[in-house]
Amino acid sequence: MSNLIIVSAPSGAGKTSLIKEILQQDKQIKLSVSTTTRPPRINEIDGVHYNFVSVEQFEKLQQQNEFIEFAKVHQNYYGTSKTWVEQNLKQNDNVDILLEIDWQGAEQVKKIFPDAILIFILPPSLQILRQRLTDRKTDSDEVIQNRINAAIGEMQHCNNFDFVIINDDFNMAAKQLLSIIQTQRLTYNYQKIVNPKVFEGF
């Protein structure tokens, strides 16, 4: 049995670092590799961080119904492989599937898989978000303001999520993220399927 977990957040909320941390701590979680038309950043490896494709290739995959969800985020297209998700959910390995996707994708997946667990990560405040984006020293004031405006729009969708984590203290947020995922493995339905012998004879 595998749970489908979706984690969304605006940029600067610390989602990528949190996911990296929990993947190290819990080997029962597998991260989906998305397909994108965004050019790779330095240190990003094709097939590891994303499957990098052209807009034409992306549109072809989309027409072939290859995506379980897709969305345009910050001028680029992103999509999750339908085949990969379905195959991994079917595998009887008790490994949970994690999708790191935006709110639009999360809402699409929830419609197809109502049991998917949606988690939204928020920064503690807009001031702290601004500080984090400024501290990166990679963007101009104008770019930072655009990102904050985009973040406000994205954060307004957190009410459609099952859980919200406020990433103030990194270790605490990682602990909370892990505990949400691990608790899903203790539901009656999950236990009954994964440990049927325990339920025999009573």
Binding site for ligand 5GP (CB under 6 A): 34, 38, 69, 71, 73-74, 78-80, 100-102, 104-105
H helices of 45-120, in order, are: 55-63, 82-90, 103-112
State which residue, 101 or 117, has the beta carbon closest to ligand 5GP: 101
State which residue, 88 or 104, has the beta carbon closest to ligand 5GP: 104
3-state secondary structure of 21: helix
Q: How far is the CB of 106 from ligand 5GP (least distance, A)?
A: 7
Q: How far is the CB of 149 from ligand 5GP (least distance, A)?
A: 15
* Number of residue whose CB is nearest ligand 5GP: 105
Tokens standing for 45?
């490896």
State which residue, 96 or 105, has the beta carbon closest to ligand 5GP: 105
Q: How far is the CB of 100 from ligand 5GP (least distance, A)?
A: 5
State which residue, 101 or 158, has the beta carbon closest to ligand 5GP: 101
Strands (E), 74-188: 76-81, 96-100, 117-122, 163-166
State which residue, 105 or 130, has the beta carbon closest to ligand 5GP: 105
Q: How far is the CB of 193 from ligand 5GP (least distance, A)?
A: 28
Which residues, in sequence order, are bridge partners of residue 121? 165
Which residues, in sequence order, are bridge partners of residue 100? 7
Q: How far is the CB of 30 from ligand 5GP (least distance, A)?
A: 15
Torsion over CA of 128, 131, 135 and 140, rounded to 10 degrees?
140
Q: What residues have CB less than 8 Å from 137, skipping those under 6 apart? A: none
Tokens standing for 89?
């959910």
